[in-house]
Amino acid sequence: MIPTYEEIMLPLLKYLSDGEEHSLSQTHDDLATQFKLTDEELRELHPSGQQTVFRNRVGWARTYMKKAGLIISNRRSHFQISNQGLELLEENPTEINSKSLVRYESFVEFKSPRKSTIELKNDDTDQTLEESLEHTYQQLHSELAKELLDLIKTCTPSFFERLVIDLLITMGYGGSRKDAGKAMGKSGDGGIDGIINEDRLGLDVIYLQAKKWENTVPLKEIRDFTGALASKQAKKGIFITTSSFPASVYEFVKQVEYKIILIDGERLTDLMIEYDIGLSTVNTYHVKTTDLDYFEGN
């Protein structure tokens, strides 16, 4: 029988107790062996049809313990036990579940609805079912965006460039994927990382700067990018970063003659979610209401 995500938590943490970094793929296979799952059980698909049930549950077990601070991840699809996780194992627990994780403040914050996500006119208890559903959706969106940004920051610069290509192509830019791939990372001209077509016919081009950044992007970087655009007699540019821009940068791009679009980490993840970049759909729910016009006159 396929274990629940909570039944996976303790074995997963014990599996990581060697303190070494483990890949998600290897962890999945080793846990499948530990639980003695059959080939049929390993092939059983989640209702979404996008992922197997066991892999989905391993992913949720990892996510919950990561939110509790028991697991840390320093690069994409790899993780290891934290000092906090080792301390928990020293207590020799018989199980780990959602109730036992509420001792950790970061997990409580993860599970608690955030009023700041949407504006509520009344207390939570006064919400309609539709408002409650929207609240939950916005919370899931917020947590997904944060997880995406954390993953992006652990990726290599070359992977980040491919991610940018995937996003822009899906949004309708860049012409063919082959052309876009050639354009990125080839320029090397000052503040320019690549060039991509604005439309599929290549009637106009956009110059790109795609940088992983931890701290706020300094104004100097945008000035250099603007200078690079001037040297190419270009009029349009996109500056994409994993961090953020100060107010001075936004004021600066309003004043220059070039059209420069700034995409910070928050907007980047929002676009990735909107265009399904690096994501798979777990479930789709259609919220319906009665069509009063249909019943009118009866």
Q: Do 241 and 174 share a structural domain? A: yes
Has residue 130 been placed in a domain?
Answer: no
**Residue 83 CB: number of other CB atoms within 10 A?**
11
Q: Could you tell me if 171 and 270 lie in one domain? A: yes
Helix intervals (H) in the chain: 5-15, 24-34, 39-43, 53-67, 83-90, 98-101, 105-111, 129-154, 157-170, 177-183, 219-231, 247-255, 265-274, 292-295
Asked if residue 122 is part of any domain, the answer here is: no
Quote the CA–CA distance of 89 and 273 in Å, as a whole number.
36
Structural domain boundaries enclosing 82: 5-112
Q: What CATH number is associated with residue 79? A: 1.10.10
pTM given for the model: 0.60
Instruction: Say yes or no: 105 and 162 in one domain.
Output: no
Residue 281 included in any domain = no
Residues 6 or more apart whose CB falls under 8 angstroms from that of 217 comprise 211, 239, 241, 243, 244, 245, 246, 249
Reading the chain (298 residues) residue by residue, the pLDDT tens digits are: 889 888 999 999 999 999 999 988 899 999 999 999 999 899 887 665 667 888 888 888 888 899 899 999 877 778 899 999 999 999 999 999 888 899 998 888 877 754 444 444 444 445 556 667 777 777 888 888 888 888 888 888 878 888 888 888 888 887 666 666 555 555 444 556 778 877 767 678 888 888 888 889 999 999 999 998 888 888 899 999 999 999 999 999 999 988 999 999 999 999 999 999 988 877 777 777 666 666 666 6
Positive or negative, the CA dihedral 288, 294, 297, 298 is negative
Q: Is residue 290 part of a domain?
A: no
| Same structural domain, 199 and 103 | no
Show which of 95, 112, 129 is a domain's final residue. Answer: 112
The residue out of 58, 78, 112 marking a domain boundary is: 112
Query: Do the domain assignments include residue 125?
Result: no
Q: Which domain CATH number covers 193?
A: 3.40.1350.10
Number of domains present in the structure of the chain: 2
Shared-domain flag, residues 181 and 76:
no
Residue 198 lies in a domain: yes
Same domain, 83 and 161: no
Q: Is residue 134 part of a domain?
A: no
